[in-house]
Amino acid sequence: MSDDKKKGGWLSRLTQGLTKTSTEISQQISSVFTQKPLDEKALEDLEDLLIESDFGPQIAADIAQKLSQQKFNDPKDTNAIKAALADAIADELKGREDTCDALSGPKPYIVLFVGVNGSGKTTTLGKIAADLTSKGARVLIVAGDTFRAAAVEQLKVWAQRAGADFMGRKTGADAAGLAYDACVRAKDEGYDVVLIDTAGRLQNKQQLMD
């Protein structure tokens, strides 16, 4: 079998799997909505679905409570349900909005980038670094993802593009130790900002976040 066929087959299976998962989630969410406010059992089911989608328990409860007050003409209208769910999530996020001015206050300003694999941590870090250096800031980029050699090389490229300094260690090195040493270096050498990349992890995995 050619590489193209293998790739096409893999992508096809992946697409089908994701489509099936998305459809199942939409159907599950739709199933808990009725023509009247949600009863206690339905509300619990909705909370469970939100938690399974990696929402925190309190936020899931708040969102479910807001949605429980709404009525839908068609409980299977996933577009209407998704729109209502998006509005409820947006309301939760509005109260958590904040500004981040890395060039004000004590130096160095330290930012730790965390999130699941593929969420865009490294790319976001690189763009922020470029913005900061364009404003005259001295930026130190730290390759805290010491598990993947490719991650270190990718971050080196971003540092070069942004005109920032780079700090990393060999694959398998202690990431926490690297971050600590980077902060010490930043203080000693007068950096304005330290941007630390990390290996992918869920925000609700407390032992990894610590």
Strand partners, 15: none
144: nearest Cα among 84, 78, 201, 91:
201
The C-alpha R_g of the chain, in whole angstroms, comes to 22
pLDDT of residue 165: 97
CA distance 151 to 169: 11
Structure tokens belonging to residue 159: 């540092």
- What percent of the chain clears pLDDT 90, i.e. is strictly above it? 28
pLDDT > 90? residue 73? no
Contact residues for 163 (Cβ-Cβ < 8 A; gap 6+):
130, 133
Tell me the per-residue pLDDT of 124-172, one tens digit each, with 9 for 90 and over: 899 999 999 999 999 999 998 887 777 788 889 999 999 999 999 888 8
- Calculate the average pLDDT of the chain: 77
CA distance 162 to 123: 11
SS3 sequence of 94-124: HCCCCCCCCCCCCCCEEEECCCCCCCCHHHH
Under the banding of pLDDT at 50, 70 and 90, the label for residue 201 is low
**Range picked from 62-66, 73-77, 163-167 for highest mean pLDDT:** 163-167
pLDDT > 70? residue 66? yes
CA distance 180 to 175: 9
Residue of 17 and 188 predicted with greater confidence = 188
Q: Which domains does the chain have, with CATH numbers?
A: 3-94 (1.20.120), 109-209 (3.40.50.300)
pLDDT > 90? residue 186? yes
Under the banding of pLDDT at 50, 70 and 90, the label for residue 23 is low
